[in-house]
Amino acid sequence: MKVSKFGGSSVASAEQLKKVASIIQDDSERKVIVVSAPGKRTSDDVKVTDLLINLGEAYVKGASYESQLELVLDRFRSILSELELTDKVISEIKADFETVISSDYSTPFKLEAIKSIGEDSLAKVLSEYLAKLGLNATYLNPKDAGIILSDEPGSAQILDESFQLLYKLHEREDIVVIPGFFGYTKEGKLVTFSRGGSDITGSIVAAGVKADLYENFTDVDSVYCVNPTIVDNPKEITSLTYKEMRELSYAGFSVFHDEALIPAFKAKIPVCIKNTNNPDGLGTIIVSEKEVRGNPVVGIASDTGFLSLYVSKYLMNRELGFGRRLLHILEDEDISYEHTPSGIDDLSVIIRKSQLPLEKEAKVIERINQELDPDLVYTERDLALIMIVGEDMNSTIGVASKATEAFSRANVNLEMINQGSSEVSLMFGVKEEGVERAVRSLYEAFFVEEE
Ligand code: ASP
């Protein structure tokens, strides 16, 4: 049995939904289908989920929201008319919306229910369309499927009991179409995952039914070994491990929601990334065991928007609790940190800039000065991180030397080097202005000259 999830661009229009239907028809193992809400049809289009969020905000402000609702309805009307389906779903959206706003839910839960209308309605549309094509397909609400979530609106987590309930889907003969992105609390309140969360639904369902494969259909042929907006036509990754994917998505690979890997990983379900517009392409497969590969590096990721908080104090290594007290100040100020490379008398804390805006920085530095009495403390903003990732790096000699040579060829100064404890990645900190130059040079070194 395969669980197949189709993302926003795959269900953005009637034309895309026809491709989805033919993919489902092509393989009788595709028994459980998970869908997103209609995404963008063109680069300047608006996702249905964003329309719904705007609608919810207008409703909360007491402003008029009718025009926003019309935009949502229009998206569905155009899909329905092109697929020659009745407009039953339109009346259902209107009725659902009325039920939500007249309910006694608190505001956050009303907004959650409004946000979920895109996925919910699309799942109904797709199941109707599949049935019209002669397939035995049924819409299945996440509550009936058994997706039980924690009471955390907008960032809900799966509760363990869901997996057993989901396993019952095995008994079904029909193809079930489940809306992604939301589930229900034990008390029956609708809650959503974080944005992009349909990937998480797909992964949970795949783990629950113990699928042979979790297929994630999107709009790219595969995961590329480097960001294609930095390097033209980069090589495709045909296979990688969960751990490698996790490291890559940490630093900028956004093909797949990072939380979505966990359920599939725990249940050891292979995940395949495929393109709805080119379903015969190989795609990228994510598995638990690495395969033998020629190149120890599978991918290069980079992300900007970091800063380094540098603290130096003579004999820091002998001062008991120095690191803990420094990190405690950050915790106290509600700042989450990423890495802490350290020396004998100094320690840097790498933080996302969004966590430490300038107005907060002055206060943090003042506290460090007062509470830790360092010789020096300052921040360096505009830092980018570059990671080279590959499980085989730990047994290959010369990877770091090749990488540092590539930085030097690109004339980019290294601010920091960190080999993660797992040895799955090597991380470099550079000034943001040099990041693209460095990534291109690393790509040349590991993927072009390698040939
Ligand atoms: N529609 C939701 C979002 O835009 C979830 C998803 O597409 O995965 O975030």
How many C-beta atoms lie closer than 10 Å to residue 168's C-beta? 12
Comparing CA positions, the residue from 217, 222, 242 lying closest to residue 233 is: 222
Centre of ligand 1 to C-alpha 111, Å, is 15
Centre of ligand 1 from the C-alpha of residue 35, in Å:
9
Q: What is the pLDDT of residues 170-201, one digit of tens each?
A: 889 999 999 999 999 999 999 999 999 999 99
* Side chain identity at residue 376, one-letter code: L
Q: Rounded to the nearest whole angstrom, what is the distance from the C-alpha of residue 114 to the centroid of ligand 1? A: 13
Separation CA 244–CA 270 (nearest Å): 14
Q: Quick check: 142 and 159 in contact, CB under 8 A? A: no
pLDDT tens figures, 47-79:
999 999 999 999 989 898 899 999 999 999 999
* pLDDT for 255: 66
Torsion of CA 41, 42, 43, 44, to 10 degrees: -100
Residue 289 pLDDT grade (very low, low, confident, very high; cuts 50, 70, 90) = confident
Per-residue pLDDT tens digits for 400-436: 999 999 999 999 999 989 887 778 899 999 999 999 9
Is ligand 1 within 6 A of the CB of residue 202? no
Is the Cβ atom of 6 under 6 angstroms away from ligand 1? no
**Averaged pLDDT for residues 359-377:** 96
What's the mean per-residue pLDDT of the chain?
93
Dist. CA 280–CA 342, nearest whole Å? 48
How many angstroms is it from 380 CA to the middle of ligand 1? 35
Ligand 1 center to 275 CA (angstroms) = 17
Structure tokens at 326: 């420094």
3-state SS track over the chain: CEEEEECHHHHCCHHHHHHHHHHHHHCCCEEEEEECCCCCCCCCCCCHHHHHHHHHHHHHHCCCCHHHHHHHHHHHHHHHHHCCCCCHHHHHHHHHHHHHHHCCCCHHHHHHHHHCHHHHHHHHHHHHHHHHCCCCEEECCHHHHCCEECCCCCCCCECCHHHHHHHHHHHCCCEEEEECCEEECCCCCEEECCCCCHHHHHHHHHHHCCCCEEEEEECCCCEECCCCCCCCCCCEECEEEHHHHHHHHHCCCCCCCHHHHHHHHHCCCCEEEEECCCCCCCCEEEECCCCCCCCCCCEEEEEEEEEEEEEECCCHHHCCCHHHHHHHHHHHCCCCEEECCECCCEEEEEEEHHHCCHHHHHHHHHHHHHHHCCCEEEEEEEEEEEEEECHHHHHCCCHHHHHHHHHHHCCCCCCEEEECCCCCEEEEEEEHHHHHHHHHHHHHHHHHCCC
Structure-block tokens of residue 253: 């690979």
Ligand 1 pocket test, candidate residues 5, 48, 49, 112, most atoms within 8 A of CB: 49
Q: Given this model, what pLDDT does residue 252 score?
A: 64
45 CA distance to ligand 1 middle (Å): 15
Residues whose CB falls within 8 Å of the CB of residue 48, separated by 6 or more in sequence, listed in order = 8, 37, 38, 39, 72, 75, 118, 122
Ligand 1 centroid–CA 116 distance in Å is: 9
Confidence of residue 290 (pLDDT cuts 50, 70, 90): confident
CA distance 119 to 126: 10
Quick one: which atom of ligand 1 is closest to the CA of 8? 7
* Domains delineated in the chain: 9-209+249-267 (3.40.1160.10), 299-448 (3.30.2130.10)
For residue 302, give every residue at least 6 positions away whose Cβ sits within 8 Å of its Cβ, in sequence order, or none. Answer: 227, 230, 251, 252, 384, 385, 386, 387, 435, 438, 439
The answer to whether the CB of 195 is under 6 A from ligand 1 is yes
Contacts for 168 with CB less than 8 Å, ≥ 6 apart:
146
The pLDDT of residue 248 is 85
Contact 342, 366 (CB under 8 A): no
pLDDT value of position 40: 96
Neighbours of 397 (CB within 10 A): 7
Residue 163 has pLDDT above 70, yes or no: yes
CA 218 to chain centroid, in Å, comes to 13
- pTM of this structure: 0.87
In the structure, what pLDDT confidence band is assigned to residue 394 with cuts at 50, 70 and 90?
confident
Confirm or reject: Cβ of 181 under 6 Å from ligand 1: yes
47 lines ligand 1 (CB under 6 A): yes
Dihedral angle computed from the Cα positions of residues 99, 101, 102 and 103, in that order, rounded to the nearest 10 degrees: 80
Do 382 and 307 touch, CB atoms closer than 8 A? yes
Task: Report which ligand 1 atom has the smallest distance to the Cα of 196.
Answer: 8
Q: Is 36 in the pocket of ligand 1 (CB under 6 A)?
A: yes
- Nearest CA-CA partner of 37 in 205, 255, 192, 152: 192
pLDDT digits (tens, 9 = 90+) for 296-332: 999 999 999 999 999 999 999 899 999 999 999 999 9
Residue 150 pairs in a beta bridge with none
Instruction: Report percent pLDDT > 70 for the chain.
Output: 98
Ligand 1 site, residue 256, Cβ cutoff 6 A: no
What is the tens place of the pLDDT at every residue in 228-271?
Answer: 889 999 999 999 998 898 888 877 666 678 788 889 999 999 99
Q: Does the pLDDT at position 292 exceed 80?
A: no
CA of 122 to the centre of ligand 1 (A): 12
Q: What is the pLDDT at residue 451?
A: 58
Paired strand residues for 273: 216, 284
Protein residue with least CA distance to atom 3, ligand 1: 196
CA distance 5 to 7: 7
